[in-house]
Amino acid sequence: MTEQAATGTVTITLDGTNKSTTIKLIDGTIGPSVADIRKLYSDLGIFTYDPGYGGTAACDSKITYIDGDEGILLHRGYPIEQLAEQSTFLEVAHLLLNGELPNAAEKKEFEDGVMRHTMVHEQIRSMYQGFRRDAHPMAVMCGVVGALSAFYHDSLDITNPDHRRISAFRLIAKVPTIAAWAYKYSIGQPFMYPRNDLGYAENFLYMMNAVPAEPYHVNPILARAMDRIMILHADHEQNASTSTVRLSGSTGANPFACIAAGIASLWGPAHGGANEAVLKMLAEIGTVENVKPFLDQVKDKNSHSRLMGFGHRVYKNFDPRAKIMAATCHEVLGELGIKNDPMLDLAIELERIALSDDYFIARKLYPNVDFYSGIILKAMGIPTSMFTVLFAVARTVGWISQWKEMIEDPSQRIGRPRQVYTGAPQRDFVPLDKRG
Ligand code: ACO
């Protein structure tokens, strides 16, 4: 780990003993200092307790910075707004993976490097036949991405930088193909092979929508919108799925297995599954008149329901991605000639009412990236079950960048949290005939 200069120390004394320890504070480039508690157990014999890791930095990273109070998201220092407006997904991928925006030659080399790997081993096609047609495409993603390590043995040595580079290219390039095929399989259409002459997002839309029987032209405005949606989902610091990838990778597992673990973690409705859940929720609410009763239900702790697409562990202000997503939503609907989208109207009204409601104000609950993404994706003809898949396609770039950073950190150790044990104390085995 690169340790920054300590700005100070904290001394902890264990009450009732003469034991104490001095905890060093480590400064990042920006953001709060962190207390280095690694000697706490050896000095005091105690662990820290932080379920959900709300106050724990598990690694140091140079990739992404979030200021949740101010609603700021930076990738390698660049604000997300500028990247979404001026960059492309593959350029952002280069930035996340390699630390800098590419120059013209590097950009071409990187794009060619990724796009050269878009095809998957032909035997992977037959894996799809093993899934039910009505399988959720995220289930297919978990299986097929995990299986990549069975096909690409020549890039599995994680200690070899060239293997790491090729694995990163393979993952970024093949995940859209695997995703589009999961969709094609579910609707019984022929798989479309990737086209390397197209842009990254353009090729994904092509594989999703084209059929071999006729030519298909991807609308450039929709391709640009998809590219931007991918930029917005590319990385987000140490969230649940990224932490899953890092934890899996800390054991030395190969990158394909680690990304499959990340996909599984992303699937949950509290994380990447929220975009799908937002649309289901809007469909359930149905009309503007039902917004208030729905919010009353959400506020009732016994209902266990939540306003999907609202709230975030880190953002206690607007998620900057949600603002860009809302603007993109209007652009896409405009391009598609959708003047009045009842779902968008409902979402806008739901957002307006929630943002003026004391419950949401007091808890600092704002729309997150998922609130508007589903509406755009639906308008673009992407089926609801593919929303989280699309998130996984884009986030693969962040996952593999974070994995690479971890593997290249000489101080990296296996991730191994501790616990507060609250079970039975030690006791003797009871033979079957003596149990009540
Ligand atoms: N609707 C209603 N109440 C909420 C919501 C919500 N969406 N989110 C949080 N709250 C309430 C909680 O009930 C809690 O209230 P309390 O203090 O009275 O008990 C308080 O706000 C704090 O909530 P926590 O659950 O402690 O917040 P946490 O940081 O653990 O959860 C999460 C963050 C999971 C994102 C949560 O806000 C949520 O479930 N949101 C809906 C799902 C969603 O949109 N997920 C996408 C996240 S972004 C992403 O992954 C891309």
Dump pLDDT digits (tens) for 358-382: 999 999 999 998 898 888 898 888 9
pLDDT tens, residue by residue, 54-91: 999 999 999 999 999 999 999 999 999 999 999 999 99
Q: Could you tell me what percentage of the chain is helix, strand and coil, using 3-state DSSP and rounding each to the nearest 5?
A: 55, 5, 40
Residues paired with 307 in a beta bridge: none
The mean per-residue pLDDT over the stretch 5-29 comes to 88
Q: Which two tokens stand for residue 422?
A: 């609250």
Query: To the nearest whole number, what is the mean pLDDT of the chain?
Result: 94
Instruction: Give, using CA atoms, the residue closest to atom 36 of ligand 1.
Output: 311
Q: Which two tokens stand for residue 415?
A: 């991730």
Instruction: Give, using CA atoms, the residue closest to atom 20 of ligand 1.
Output: 363
- For residue 255, what pLDDT is reported? 98
Which is nearest to 230 in space by CA: 40, 392, 401? Answer: 392
pLDDT tens, residue by residue, 98-143: 999 999 999 999 999 999 999 999 999 999 999 999 999 999 999 9
pLDDT at 12 over 60: yes
pLDDT at 278 over 60: yes
Q: Which residues contact 52 (CB under 8 A, 6 or more apart)?
A: 313
- For residue 374, what pLDDT is reported? 86
- For residue 1, what pLDDT is reported? 35
Largest CA distance in the chain: 80
pLDDT at 2 over 70: no
Please give the distance, rounded to the nearest whole angstrom, from the Cα atom of residue 366 to the centre of ligand 1.
10
pLDDT interval class at 5 (50, 70, 90): very low
pLDDT at 357 over 80: yes
Q: Which residue has the tokens 């197209």?
A: 198
- The catalytically annotated residue of 117, 136, 312, 319 is 312
Q: What are phi and psi of 157, to 5 degrees?
A: -80, 100
- For residue 80, what pLDDT is reported? 97
Q: Which two tokens stand for residue 145?
A: 């991405």
Residues in contact with ligand 1 by the CB-under-6-Å rule are 270-272, 274, 298, 306-313, 363, 365, 368-370
Cα 116 versus chain centre, distance:
25
| Number of the ligand 1 atom closest to the C-alpha atom of 240 | 50
150: amino acid identity, one letter: A
| Number of the ligand 1 atom closest to the C-alpha atom of 311 | 37
pLDDT at 3 over 50: no
pLDDT tens, residue by residue, 164-213: 999 999 999 999 999 999 999 999 999 999 999 999 999 999 999 999 99
pLDDT interval class at 4 (50, 70, 90): very low
Q: What is the pTM for the complete model shown? A: 0.92
50 belongs to the catalytic site: no
Cα gap 190→351, rounded to integer Å: 40
Say what percent of the chain tops pLDDT 70.
98
Please give the distance, rounded to the nearest whole angstrom, from the Cα atom of residue 312 to the centre of ligand 1.
6
The mean per-residue pLDDT over the stretch 328-344 comes to 86
For 305-369, where are the alpha helices, taking DSSP H only?
320-335, 342-355, 358-362
Q: Which two tokens stand for residue 48?
A: 């820290």
Q: Which residues contact 85 (CB under 8 A, 6 or more apart)?
A: none
- For residue 379, what pLDDT is reported? 87
The mean per-residue pLDDT over the stretch 223-229 comes to 96
- For residue 276, what pLDDT is reported? 87
312 belongs to the catalytic site: yes
pLDDT tens, residue by residue, 245-271: 999 999 999 999 999 999 999 999 999
Instruction: Give, using CA atoms, the residue closest to atom 4 of ligand 1.
Output: 306
Q: Is 372 exposed, middle or buried (0-12, 13-18, 19+ CB in 10 A)?
A: buried
- For residue 173, what pLDDT is reported? 98
- For residue 7, what pLDDT is reported? 65
